[in-house]
Amino acid sequence: MHREDGVLDIDGLSIEYRKFSGSKTGPTIVLLHEGLGSISAWKDFPELLCDATGMSVFLYSRVGYGNSSPIELPRSIDFHSDEAVRGLPKVLAAAEIECCILIGHSDGASIAIISAGTKSLDHQVERLILLAPHIFAEKKCITAVEQAISAYENGKLRKALRKFHGKNTECAFRGWSGVWTDLEFSRWSIEEYLSFIKIPVLAIRGKDDPYNTTIHLDSIAEKVSGEVQCFNLSNCAHAPHQDQETQVLRLIEEFL
């Protein structure tokens, strides 16, 4: 398995990326990180995913995260749509990825849904895998974000995030928390995109997730036009791919 680390120059901004080259030809698995994520926050999951599926795996840190270029705050409350419609297509073009399977975690899952629902990537996306997806701004999530702000202010969360974001730590956290606690964002919803998704979808969340409830999986199962598989895992919180790594890898391998 070959690992490649590099930087993409897109519109004058630096986007860090990592790629694991698999043994199989075909679509590339593209990982879209959560609201406080980055390349390093995925830990060893991308490499394990490549090994389990034999497929190439590509991941990147969005601007304002990891070692990618910082951004000017505040983030727009439409940043999910902006990333799905404008950001992601440019990244895939720069990385020369013509066909892909999107795996999105949390905010990354929302970006994947919008991308498929708006068909911003035309026929490039073959399947969606959604980990702890958000379909709308549920009160439970907003409350959890407010608790995260308190943990960040007392220094514990700030220290934990610094190893994933370095100089971008403040940018990453304030950009994320600022959107989710914006009163205007409380009306945010992407349910309208679900019925336009005709490709197969695998959705996974943890029963102990502090950021959402099963209502998001219910909405996906009810409204997506294509084949849908939903799993609500026990002993699992907001990061199914880490809390139940073996089970999630098995579900993904079977789905693909």
DSSP summary character for residue 84 = I
Number of folded domains that form the chain: 1
- Band of residue 122 on the pLDDT scale cut at 50, 70, 90: confident
The β-bridge partners of 189 are 136
3-state secondary structure of 184: helix
**Tokens 């993409």 correspond to what residue?**
8
Dig out the tokens for 167 from the structure. 């100089």
Domain that holds residue 203: 2-255
Residue 46's domain is classified under what CATH number? Answer: 3.40.50.1820
Please say if the pLDDT value at position 120 is more than 90.
no
The β-bridge partners of 29 are 57, 101
pLDDT confidence of residue 119: 82
Task: Kindly report whether the global pTM for this prediction surpasses the value 0.85.
Answer: yes
- Using alpha carbons only, give the angle 11, 16, 21 rounded to the nearest 5 degrees: 120
Q: What confidence tens digit (pLDDT) does each residue in 161-196 have?
A: 999 999 999 999 999 999 999 999 999 999 999 999
Q: What confidence tens digit (pLDDT) does each residue in 10-59 have?
A: 999 999 999 999 999 999 999 999 999 999 999 999 999 999 999 999 99
**Tokens 């606690």 correspond to what residue?**
181
Which ranges of the chain would DSSP assign to H, the alpha helix? 45-53, 79-82, 88-94, 107-118, 139-153, 156-165, 169-180, 215-223, 240-243, 245-255
Dig out the tokens for 5 from the structure. 């680390």
For the residues 106-125, what does the mean pLDDT come to? 93
Q: Give the whole-angstrom CA distance, residue 167 versus residue 109.
A: 25
Give the side-chain half-sphere CA count within 13 A for 128.
36
